[in-house]
Structure 1
């Protein structure tokens, strides 16, 4: 996945996270899981941007 694709995915996940947080509250497990997913994608994006390749943790 290239940087542009990761940026699009990040924006999509951010929007979904915001919607979920507004609907369910910040402490809902679904919101927390989505936040963790977004964190993992951000890690991949940052490593890709720096040119560091490590397989993402599942």
Structure 2
């Protein structure tokens, strides 16, 4: 298994300070607490981006 961290490739979304959000340079995440909080749009965008990023790296390794 290969772990592909995001690093700072997500751009300005990594440094957004207008709302509480999870995630770091290691990967997407969300603050769940007791389960009543749902992921924000920014957290979902980061998770989607990470999925695409891992796919690109896997494709390059396959070739």
Give 1 or 2: higher helix fraction.
Answer: 1
Higher relative contact order (CA 8 A, sep 6+): 1
